[in-house]
Structure 1
C-alpha cells in the first residue's frame, strides 16, 4: 500500500489545482451576484443554474481529492493496492454524475445569458433555445447511462464480486460523451459571434466583446484534451490510477473554468463602480490638499510689493522666521487701505531705543536688505480712517531677510 504523501508531485498538484480552481469559481459566483445587486436586476435561469453548477462542482472536487488521498489516484498503478482501486472506482461513479451535471448546468447558464443579452434577435433566440434543449438532454441522458451502466449496480465498482455482471463499454462511453461535450462547447462559443459583429460598434469594442465571450476557448481546449485521453483505451486499463489522475485534473479544471467564464461577462458593473470610486477618491484627496494648502507656492500667485521670507535652504547662514501667511496677507491688505501714521508726540526715538547690537525694523521694504532687532514698549499708532490701534514693537531675536518680489 502506498499512502498519499505531500512529497508526491502529481497527486499534490491535483489537490492544489482542484482546490484553487474551486476557490476561484466560488469568488466568481459571489462577484456575479454582487454585480447583480449593483445593477438591481432580477435573477434569471442563468443565475440559478450557475449556483447549482457550483454545488455539483464542489461535490466533484471533494470526491476527486478523496480519490487522491485515499484511492491512490495519481500514483503508479503497481504501487496501489486492490482496496485503493475499489475505493477509486466507487468514487468515479460519483465523479461521473457530478461532473456531467456541473458542466451541463454551466452550459445552460451560458445560453440563458446569451438569450438575455441578445433578446431582440428572434433567430438567435430560437437557435439558443434549441441548443439549450440539446444540452439539457445531453446532461440527463449521460447521467442516466452513468448510473445504469452496469447490472447489478455494485458492478460499477466491484466487478470481481459479480462474475455475471453486464456493463456498457465504458471506454467508448467516455469517448462519445467527450466528443458531444466538445461539440456543444464549440457551438456555444461561436453562437454570439455573428450577432456581435453585426452590431453598430467600433471595431475595437467588437474585438473586446469577442474576447469576453470567447474566453471559453480554454474550456474547448480542455474538452479536446480529455477526448484524446479517452481514446487511449489500452493505456487506460493498464495505467488506471495514472489515467484517473489526469482525468480528475482535467475534469475539475473544465468545471471550475466554465463557471468563471460564465460569470465574467456580468462583472462589468464592478469594474465601473471601482473605477468611479477611485476617481472620486482621487478628486476628493486633491481638493482636500488644495483646501489645506491654499497658500503654497504652487497655488498662490505673488502679490504686488509682497515680502518673501527666504529660508535657510535658499541662503545658507540666514535664519528662517515662519509666519502665518494668511494673517500676513490679510494684514497687508488692511494696511494698504488704512495706512498707519504715528503721531510725533507719541513717537519714540529710534536712536534712543537702539542699543548696541539691537535695531528696530521700520517696515520699509524699498531699501533692499534691512535686518533690525529691537525692544520697546507700547506706542499709539493712528490709521488714516481715524481709528487707532495699540501695537507692540516687534522683538526679533533672529536675523531675517526682506526682499521685493
Structure 2
C-alpha cells in the first residue's frame, strides 16, 4: 500500500483500495475481515482492572481529604485536586479511545485481517489517545510534586527538595505542551495522519512517541528516588522511616510499566505488522497511568486505617498490644472522672509525626526552625501548668491552664 499514490486515485478507485487489506497477507494466509483471531477478552480485562483501580484510588483520596482531614480548603489541595481532576478527565478520554478499538479493528489482530478503511478511524483514535496520554502523565506527576512539597517542605523554606520539585514541575509542563504540539504537527494538515489520501506532508510520528516514552521513564525514575533522602532525614525511628519509604516506593511500579511501554513503543515503530503490535503499547501505558494515580492516592491509606480504627482492630486480631492515647494522659483512678472530663478527651485529635509539620496555631507557629535552616537543638520551649479546681456547687470539675515560663 505504501507504493500507491492516493492523490491520483478517483473516488471509485479509492473506495476499492480502502475495502482491501491494510497489508498483503503472508504466503499461505488469507485475509479474514469477518471474525479475525484476536485477544479482545484480554484487552477488556486489562482496561477494566486499570479503570477500577483508578476509581478506587480517587475514592480513597476523596474520603481521606474531604471526610477525615477536611483540608480541601487549603491552597495546595485545591491545586492538587485541580490537577487530579484534569488527569482523570484525560484518563477517561484515553480509556474511551482504547475501548473504542476493541470492536474494530480489535487487539492482537494481524494487519492483513484489517481493511484499510478501518485504519482511518483507528488512526484518529490512536492520535487522540496519544494526546490524552501526553497530558495525563505530566498532570499526575505535577500532582505528586505538589503533594510532596506540602509534606516535605515547610512553608517559607527553600531547600533542595523545593527547587528540584519545581524544576521537575516546569519540565513536565514544558514537555506536555511540546508533545501535544508535536503530535498535532506531525502531519500538515493534521488529519493526514489518519486520512492518508489527503494531500500534505508528514514526519515519522513514531520518533515522537519513542522520545515521549523515554522521557516519561526517566522522569518516573527521578520521582521514585526524590523523596527517599527526605524520608530518611526525618526525625523518627528507622522502622517508621522504612514504612514511609515503602509507601513512597510504589513509584517503582510506574518505572517498570514505563520501561515495558518504551520497549513496546520501539517494537511497534519497527514492526511491519503494526496493528498487531499496538496492544502491548496500550496496555503498558494503561499500567503506567494507573501507577501514577496509585502514587498520588495511596499515602492517604494509613490515615484512613488509623482514623477508622481498622489498624487498631487488625493489630488486635494479630495479637499485638493496643494502647489508648488520651489528651491528659490519665491513669488509674483519674480515668474515671466526671462526664465533662470525658468530653474533653473526645475533642482530642491524635496528630502523628507527618502531620505535625502542617499543624499551625498562634502558640506553635514559631516553634518551627527558621526558613532555610534545620536546627538540631531546641529552638523554643513553653512550660504550661495545669491546675484542677472542683466546684462542689454543681458537681462539675473545671481545669485551668496558663503558661508560667517562656524560654
Q: Provide TM-score, normalisation by structure 1.
A: 0.64
Q: Tell me, which stretches of 5 or more residues in structure 2 are unaligned?
A: 1-31, 318-407
CA distance in 1, matches of 2:273, 2:285: 18
- Paired with 1:130 and 1:269, the residues of 2 have a C-alpha distance of 29
Distance 1:248 1:210 in 2: 30
Alpha-carbon offset, residue 203 of structure 1: 1.6
The alpha-carbon deviation at position 245 of structure 1 amounts to 1.2
Residue 355 of structure 1: aligned partner? none
Which among 22, 37, 62 is matched to residue 33 of structure 1? Answer: 62
The count of aligned residue pairs is 277
5+ residue gaps, structure 1, are 284-405
**Shift of residue 272 of structure 1?**
1.1
Question: CA 1:147–1:182 in 2, change beyond 3 Å: closer, same or farther?
Answer: same
Partners of 1:74 and 1:245 within 8 A in 2: yes
Alignment check: 8 A CA contact 1:72 1:84 kept: no
| 1:56 and 1:102 in contact (8 A); partners too | yes
Rg larger for = 1
Match of 1:273 among 292, 304, 307: 307
Q: CA deviation at 1:279?
A: 4.7
The answer as to whether partners of 2:268 and 2:278 remain within 8 angstroms in 1 is no
Distance 1:25 1:35 in 2: 15
**In 2, Cα distance between the equivalents of 1:69 and 1:276?**
43
Alignment of 1:175 with 2:175, yes or no, is: no
| From 289, 304, 312, the counterpart of 1:255 | 289
CA pair 279-67 structure 1, distance change in 2 beyond 3 A: closer
Deviation track 1:314-361 (CA, whole Å, cap 9, x = no partner) reads: xxxxxxxxxxxxxxxxxxxxxxxxxxxxxxxxxxxxxxxxxxxxxxxx
1:192-245 per-residue CA deviation (whole Å, 9 max, x = no partner) reads 111111112222211111111110111111111121222236643x11111111
> Where does residue 287 of structure 1 map in the other structure?
none
Contact 1:32 1:263 in 2 (8 A): yes
**CA distance in structure 2 between the partners assigned to 1:69 and 1:16 by the alignment:** 14
What is the root-mean-square deviation in Å for CA atoms of aligned residues?
2.2
TM-score of the aligned structures, taking structure 2 as reference length: 0.64
Cα separation, partners in 2 of 1:2 and 1:271, compared to 1, 3 Å: farther
**Quick one: structure 1 residues 3 and 205, their matched pair in 2 at CA, closer, same or farther if it must change by over 3 Å?**
farther
Q: Secondary structure at the match of 2:102?
A: helix
Q: Do the aligned residues in 2 keep the contact of 1:72 with 1:80 (CA within 8 Å)? A: no
Separation (CA, whole Å) in 1 of partners of 2:118 and 2:150? 47
Map 1:38-77 onto structure 2 (within 5 A).
Answer: 38-42=68-72, 43-77=77-111
Cα distance, 1:165 vs. partner?
Answer: 2.5
Residue 24 (structure 1) aligns with: 53
1:356 equivalent in structure 2: none
Q: Which residue of 1 aligns with 2:321?
A: none
Q: Give, in angstroms, the shift of residue 173 of structure 1.
A: 1.3
| Residues in 1 aligned to 2:35 and 2:80: alpha-carbon distance in whole angstroms | 39
